[in-house]
């Protein structure tokens, strides 16, 4: 956990994690409203399915992502999209990171 008063306090702790930063940055590259399948996202990021699910769940719980499952059984498909809240959070994170690095 980040200690009180550290330089990284201004950074959203949900995004300031390597795996989750990669997930959010990758989804932000899609046009607004488009979604990416779980399989393609996993290939692009290179995480194991278990790890990816863990991080996606944390981001979804915070309202940063929207996941949608379509179909049943082997034909089922999960797609993931960045929500408006997630996009705003990434913008805020990027701005905070820029300010922090400018002050170093």
Partner 1 sequence: MDETTTGDEGGEFDPKEAAKLLETTTRRAQRQLEFPSPLLALIQAGALLAAYGSIWLSVRGQNPYSGPSGAALVELYAFVAVAAVAVGLEARRARAGVSRRSSRQEWTRAVPFIAAFLSVYVLMGALRHDGFSFAIVYGILPAAGPLIVVGAAAAGYAAAREDLQMLALAVALVAVGAGSAFAGPSGVWAVTGVGFCAVLVCRAIAQVWLRRA
Contact footprint for partner 1 (CB under 8 A): 1-3, 6-8, 11, 13, 16-19, 21-22, 25-26, 28-30, 33-37, 39-41, 44, 47, 51, 54-55, 79, 94, 97-98, 100-101, 104
β-strand partners of 66: 81
Least distance (Å) between residue 50 CB and partner 1: 9
User: Measured from the CB atom, is 85 or 98 closer to partner 1?
Assistant: 98
- Pairwise CA distance, residues 104 & 91, whole Å: 20
* DSSP state for residue 74 in the 8-state scheme: G
CA 58/CA 94 separation, integer angstroms: 19
Smallest gap, in angstroms, from Cβ of residue 30 to partner 1?
6
Q: How far is the CB of 73 from partner 1 (least distance, A)?
A: 19
- At 53, which helix (H) or strand (E)? helix 49-61
């Amino acid at each position: 956990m980040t200690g009180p008063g550290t330089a990284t306090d201004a950074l959203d702790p949900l995004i300031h994690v390597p795996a989750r930063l990669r997930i959010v940055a990758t989804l932000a590259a899609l046009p607004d409203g488009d979604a990416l399948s779980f399989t393609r996202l996993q290939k692009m990021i290179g995480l194991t399915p278990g790890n990816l699910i863990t991080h996606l769940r944390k981001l979804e719980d915070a309202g940063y992502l929207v996941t949608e499952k379509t179909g049943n059984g082997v034909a089922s498909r999960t797609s993931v999209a960045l929500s408006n809240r997630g996009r705003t959070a990434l913008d805020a994170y990027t701005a905070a990171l820029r300010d922090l690095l400018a002050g170093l």
